[in-house]
Structure 1
Amino acid sequence: MTPDLTGRIALVTGASRGIGYHIARQMAAAGAHVIAVARTVGGLEELDDEIKAERAKTGKGEATLVPLDLTDMQGIDRLGGAINERWKKLDVLVANAAVLGVISPIGHVEAKVFDKVMAVNVTGTWRLIRSVDPLLRASDAGRAIVLSSNAAHSARAFWAPYAASKAAVETLMRSWADETKNMALRVNAADPGGTRTAMRAQAFPGENPETLPHPSEIASRILGMASPALTRTGQIYQAKFDRWMEYQQPAEVAAAG
Structure 2
Amino acid sequence: MNLKPDLSGRLALVTGASRGIGREIALQMAGLGAHVIAVARTAGALEELDDEIRAGGGEATLVPLDLTDFDGVDRLGGVIDERWGKLDILVANAGILGPISPIGHVRAKDFERVMAINVTSTWRLIRSTDPLLRKSDAGRAIILSSGAAHSCKPFWGPYSASKAAVEALARTWAAETEKSALRVNSVNPGATRTRMRAQAMPGEDPQSLPSATEVAAAIVPLAGSAIRQTGQLWDVRGKSWRAYSS
Q: Which residue of 1 aligns with 2:31?
A: 29
Distance in 2, matches of 1:53 and 1:241, equals 33
Distance in 2, matches of 1:2 and 1:39, equals 29
Q: Which residue of 2 aligns with 1:255?
A: none
Q: How does 1:144-183 map to 2 (within 5 A)?
A: 144-183=141-180
1:39 and 2:41 correspond: yes
- The counterpart of 2:110, out of the listed 87, 110, 113, is 113
Q: Which residue of 2 aligns with 1:254?
A: none
Q: Which residue of 1 aligns with 2:10?
A: 8
- The counterpart of 1:225, out of the listed 222, 225, 231, is 222
What per-residue deviation string (whole Å, max 9, x for no partner) do you get for residues 58-112 of structure 1? xxx2100000011000000111000000110000000000011011000111111
Distance in 2, matches of 1:80 and 1:183, equals 20
1:237 and 2:234 correspond: yes
Q: Which residue of 1 aligns with 2:50?
A: 48
Q: Which residue of 1 aligns with 2:124?
A: 127
Q: Which residue of 2 aligns with 1:192?
A: 189
AA in 1 matched with 2:5: P
Q: Which residue of 2 aligns with 1:208?
A: 205
Deviation, 1:157, is 0.5
Deviation, 1:246, is 1.3
Query: 4+ residue runs of structure 1 moved beyond 2 angstroms?
Result: none
TM-score by length of 2: 0.98
Distance in 1, matches of 2:11 and 2:175, equals 24
TM-score by length of 1: 0.94
For residue 10 of structure 1, give the secondary structure of its aligned residue in structure 2.
strand
Deviation, 1:42, is 1.7
Q: How does 1:71-150 map to 2 (within 5 A)?
A: 71-150=68-147
For residue 230 of structure 2, give the secondary structure of its aligned residue in structure 1.
coil
For residue 83 of structure 1, give the secondary structure of its aligned residue in structure 2.
helix
Deviation, 1:163, is 0.2
For residue 56 of structure 2, give the secondary structure of its aligned residue in structure 1.
helix
Distance in 1, matches of 2:29 and 2:200, equals 28
Deviation, 1:248, is 4.3
AA in 2 matched with 1:228: S
Deviation, 1:41, is 1.3
Distance in 1, matches of 2:197 and 2:220, equals 21
For residue 123 of structure 1, give the secondary structure of its aligned residue in structure 2.
helix
Distance in 1, matches of 2:185 and 2:25, equals 16
Distance in 2, matches of 1:241 and 1:48, equals 32
State the identity %.
67
For residue 39 of structure 2, give the secondary structure of its aligned residue in structure 1.
strand
Distance in 2, matches of 1:85 and 1:96, equals 24
Question: Structure 1, unaligned stretches of length 5 or more?
Answer: 56-60, 250-257
Question: Alpha carbon RMSD of aligned pairs, Å?
Answer: 0.8
Q: Which residue of 1 aligns with 2:64?
A: 67
Deviation, 1:26, is 0.1
